[in-house]
């Protein structure tokens, strides 16, 4: 798979994606990490940023102790380049893989929850500044934000800074209704291009062939956004506890293959958006 956005020397900048959900437990972080790894494995230069300040977990998947955390960058104590860990060599990816982690101590999480609206607005400007630096100075093709579920300010900032948002949901009415509220409360206001990914779907509820296509079309009409896939619930992935980056360590696993299909759908969709602008 060749990345659509790796044209060096052209005027095409990269793409920024936000992975978001209405509530926790949808597998959002695993999707974000494996998506970033898939792009890097296939030759794109990628930076993934953990914007889930309430319950950061990216440090479990991407081991390493950074010199600074994203919290420090948003408090203007360092540059974005001082936050990033280069895990390319460790993961043997063809493209560059950079990770920005969030402080995960109880004290750090408590502190960021007390920030006021003025700080939040400044954090948005810093996020946009970081995006420009990653594109222009570090030649990143993709920036991927993993976010807090719901309407937390850091998630809204990530969405505002993104070209595209992928909303991850499970197949239950509570999650569906909450996701629709997110769409009405945030996405319609911000006007961001958005897609839906159904994850952890019980196998007996995942139709095949034309049945899946018809279900995706039905759900797409319900959400008024395109459906980018339906990933079954794999018991071994759940039992793993988020310790494995499947697209790198188990590329033949059906979950990895689902992520590879997702990357292709996203590249095709984003490429069409570019050509239509």
Query: For the residues 3-26, what does the mean pLDDT come to?
Result: 69
Distances in Å between the alpha carbon of 230 and those of 35, 174, 175, 259? 15, 18, 15, 10
> What pTM did the predictor assign?
0.91
CA dihedral of residues 18, 21, 24, 25 (deg, nearest 10): -90
pLDDT at position 216 is 81
Q: Which DSSP symbol is given to 113?
A: T
**Domain annotation covers residue 187:** yes
Distance CA 208, CA 265 (A): 18
Return mean pLDDT, the chain.
89
pLDDT at position 191 is 87
Percent of the chain with pLDDT over 90: 63
Strand partners, 146: 19, 50
pLDDT at position 47 is 98
**Domain annotation covers residue 4:** no
Query: For the residues 88-108, what does the mean pLDDT come to?
Result: 94
**Domain annotation covers residue 9:** no
Pairing of strands 85-86, 97-100: antiparallel
Domain hosting 167: range is 15-276
Residue 90 above 60 pLDDT?
A: yes
What string of H, E and C letters represents the secondary structure of 214-254?
HHHHHHHHHHCCCEEEEEECCHHHHHHCCCCCHHHHCCCCH
The domain tally of the chain equals 1
The CATH code of the domain that includes 94 is: 3.40.50.300
pLDDT at position 50 is 97
Pick from 13-17, 46-50, 114-118, 204-208: least confident = 204-208
**Domain annotation covers residue 7:** no
Distance CA 19, CA 39 (A): 15
**Domain annotation covers residue 33:** yes
**Domain annotation covers residue 2:** no
pLDDT at position 64 is 79
Residue 6 above 60 pLDDT?
A: no
**Domain annotation covers residue 89:** yes
DSSP H helices, the chain, are: 28-41, 58-61, 70-74, 88-91, 106-112, 117-136, 153-160, 173-182, 188-190, 210-223, 235-240, 246-249, 254-276
User: Containing H/E element for 168?
Assistant: strand 164-169
Strand partners, 165: 18, 194
**Domain annotation covers residue 256:** yes
CA atoms within 13 A on the CB side of 80: 22
160 CB-near residues (< 8 Å, 6+ apart):
124, 190, 192
């Amino acid at each position: 798979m060749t990345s659509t956005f790796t044209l060096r020397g052209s005027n095409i900048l990269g793409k920024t994606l936000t992975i978001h959900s209405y509530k926790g437990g949808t597998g959002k972080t695993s999707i974000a990490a494996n998506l970033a790894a898939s792009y890097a494995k296939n030759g794109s230069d990628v930076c993934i940023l953990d914007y889930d300040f309430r319950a950061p977990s990216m440090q479990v998947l991407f081991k390493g102790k950074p010199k600074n955390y994203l919290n420090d960058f948003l408090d203007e104590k360092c540059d974005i380049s001082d936050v990033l860990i280069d895990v390319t060599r460790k993961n043997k990816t063809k493209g560059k893989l950079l990770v920005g982690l969030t402080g995960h101590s109880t004290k750090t999480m408590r502190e960021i929850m007390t920030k006021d609206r003025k700080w939040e607005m400044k954090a948005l400007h810093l996020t946009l500044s970081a995006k420009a630096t990653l594109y222009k100075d570090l030649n990143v093709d993709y920036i991927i934000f993993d976010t807090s579920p719901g309407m937390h300010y850091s998630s809204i900032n990530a969405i505002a800074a993104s070209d595209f948002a992928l909303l991850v949901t499970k197949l239950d009415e509570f999650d569906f209704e909450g996701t629709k509220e997110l769409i009405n409360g945030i996405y319609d206001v911000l006007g961001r291009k958005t897609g839906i990914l159904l994850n952890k779907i019980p196998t007996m509820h995942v139709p095949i062939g034309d049945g899946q296509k018809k279900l995706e079309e039905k759900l797409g009409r319900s959400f008024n956004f395109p459906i980018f896939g339906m990933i079954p619930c794999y018991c071994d992935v759940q039992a793993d506890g988020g310790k494995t980056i499947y697209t790198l360590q188990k590329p033949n696993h059906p979950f990895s293959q689902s992520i590879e299909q997702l990357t292709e759908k996203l590249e095709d969709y984003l490429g069409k958006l570019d050509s239509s602008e």
